Amino acid sequence: MNIRTDLALEQISGGELPEGVHIAERGRSFNITEIVIDNDSCAEMIGRGKGRYITLEGGSLSRFSDDYEDMAQELAQELKRLIPEGDILVVGLGNRDITPDAVGPQTAEKVLATRHLQNELNEEEESFLTSLRRVSTFAGGVMGQTGIETAEIVRGIIHETDPSGIIVVDALACSDISRLGTTIQLTDTGISPGSGVSNARKELSEKELGVPVIAAGVPTVVDMHTIVRSLTGQDIDSELPNMMVTPRDIDRLTERTSQLLAFGINLALQPGLSYSDVMGLF
């Protein structure tokens, strides 16, 4: 069946694992599943190439939890496992004017940008702030707004800023309704923007950009045909009308999900900052 999803966990769950695919589970505040694919030999079978795919599953991310600090810290720990040393560029993918697609831009605007500090601070301020990792952020909209592929814009930014790695944040699609707004996926394989809604653009990956690309995202949509297929096991006539389904509280989900992702990114990139320090940024 042609199940539409951005989540690696949904593409390989059930049945015997292909050779070269390994799964490990852990977690405290989240139930964490790490999938490691050793090579690209099974890419055609499962739709995923070589790399690491980390899925964090919990309760609804639209609600504040008593474990919020632990969730942010655990997310940061998982991100640290993927992020290289050195300067980092954080890119928010998506259209901020369409709520289910605004997770990327809203996250990027909450990440602490520090790359400019060394040139703008006086000697008294330098001791602490210039010790922070150099981070740049960018959220430039979608091709329909700019007329430019995001990958082309990012390639230009790389040329000017020379980062050691990139973190891209985007809204995702899933096939299981229970994962809608409850799941975070991290991967070191990059991302093809819009692929989950059949609107794929040029991919953002190390292969295409020349630097490691870490992708982080949360499912905010599921299409109706995929829901029917997953519930009934029957294929659907592609000529039948289809639609994208999103949670009723999507405004709150987008806002709070982007805040949690930004918390995790800030804590992962700036280990010298405490949770209280990062809280003060919001």
**pTM, entire model:** 0.90
| Maximum mean pLDDT: which of 4-13, 62-71, 96-105, 195-204 | 96-105
- Residue by residue, what is the 3-state secondary structure of the chain? CCCCCCCHHHHHCCCCCCCCEEEEEECCCCEEEEEEECCCCCHHHHCCCCEEEEEEECCCCCCCCCCHHHHHHHHHHHHHCCCCCCCEEEEECCCCCCHHHCHHHHHHCCCCCCCCHHHHCCHHHHHHHCCCCCEEEECCCCHHHHCCCHHHHHHHHHHHHCCCEEEEEEEEECCCHHHCCCEEEEECCCECCCHHHCCCCCCECHHHHCCCEEEEEEEEEEEHHHHHHHHHCCCCCCCCCCCEECCCCHHHHHHHHHHHHHHHHHHHHCCCCCHHHHHCCC
Average pLDDT of every residue of the chain: 88
Of residues 2 and 162, the one with the higher pLDDT is: 162
- Give the confidence band of 269 by pLDDT, cuts at 50, 70, 90: very high
CATH number for the domain whose boundaries are 8-272:
3.40.50.1450
48: nearest Cα among 236, 188, 180, 248? 188
- Lowest model confidence (mean pLDDT) among 142-156, 177-191, 197-211: 197-211
**Tokens in use for 101?**
């697609």
| Res 109: pLDDT | 95
Rounded-to-integer distance, Cα 277 and Cα 138, Å: 22
Task: Write out pLDDT tens, residues 144-168.
Answer: 788 888 889 999 999 999 999 999 9
